[in-house]
Structure 1
Amino acid sequence: MFNKIVVAVDGSASSLKAVEKAVQLQGLLPHAEIYLICVYKHHSLFEASLSIGRPVDMDIPDKVLSDYAKEVVTHAKEHAFGQGATQVRAFVKSGRPSKVIVRFAREKEADLIVVGTRGTHSDKDGILLGSVSHRVTSAAKCPVLVV
């Protein structure tokens, strides 16, 4: 039934509930693999240069966001194992979240995508996933479970 489950995470409580639901499904289907993905919005060097005042050792926004996304997906992976998951892989990608999630699911030949109903709402966190569940459900070729 569901052998490959993609779960989009952004650090929000809603995305952690999506992780928990995927782990519950994996409990029913012991051979299922869970693929966690955290997507951050790419910032060009031009966008980074628009800041009026920059410290000498300023990090490029993509590096900061990528590092944060890695923390988010690592936390989600630990949460999944804490809930009893057996096979979990974590990925960080950049781009428009809904498109990247759907493309990633297609590349992994996923049988199911699990997303939270609402992403995070703070400025920093909202950049990662935000509320993209509607776009994912519209574009995905496999079933989407919105938690």
Structure 2
Amino acid sequence: MFKRILVAVDGSKTALHALDKAIELQQLTQAEIFLLCVFKHHSLFEASLSMVRPDNMQIPDQALTEYAKSVVEQAKAYATDREATCRGFVKGGRPSKTIIKFAKEKDVDLIVMGSHGTHTDVDGMILGSVSQRVAGRAHCPTLVV
């Protein structure tokens, strides 16, 4: 049925619900689970435009990478507590495009993700959510939880 399942995680409760579904499928199919946390890339120029300027300015991508790594580690621990195995990855870029590209690269045959993540802003309502974009453009089935 499924050999490789990609679960997009962002630290939200819906992402954990998606991981629960992927774990259920793993128990049925012995599929490999990939966890992916995508952070939006910010340039130093974008960071320099901030009104808040700390004394020791950290490159935004470094901070976001560390946060994304912690999200993946928490999801891995959550899966381990449920006797599931998975591999974690962190990527920078536009979330929907990055998820789709990663799924193709890893020859994933199912993407599982939450219906909405940690951000619920006006852009999400106007442009459509990441899960909607992924479901509409992915090369494989997408289960939105």
Shared fold (TM-score greater than 0.5)?
yes
The unaligned stretches of length 5 or more in structure 1 are none
TM-score, scaled relative to structure 2: 0.91
Cα RMSD after superposing both structures: 1.7
Q: 1:139 to 1:122 in 2, by over 3 A?
A: closer
Paired residues in the alignment total: 140
* Greater CA drift, 3-12 or 75-84: 75-84
CA distance in 2, matches of 1:24, 1:53: 44
TM-score, scaled relative to structure 1: 0.90
CA deviation map 1:94-128 (0-9, x unaligned): 000000000000000001000101101378xx9xx
Residue 53 of structure 1: how far off its partner (Å):
4.4
Residue 90 of structure 1: how far off its partner (Å):
0.1
- The aligned counterpart of 2:27 is 27
The unaligned stretches of length 5 or more in structure 2 are none
CA distance in 1, matches of 2:64, 2:52: 19
CA deviation map 1:28-70 (0-9, x unaligned): 012x100000000000111011124422211111111111111
Secondary structure of the 1:121 match is coil
- Residue 7 in structure 1 maps to residue 7 in structure 2: yes
Secondary structure of the 1:93 match is strand
- Residue 112 in structure 1 maps to residue 104 in structure 2: no
Q: Which amino acid aligns with 1:3?
A: K
CA distance in 2, matches of 1:52, 1:39: 25
Q: Which amino acid aligns with 1:78?
A: A
Q: How does 1:1-147 map to 2 (within 5 A)?
A: 1-30=1-30, 32-85=31-84, 87-121=85-119, 131-147=129-145
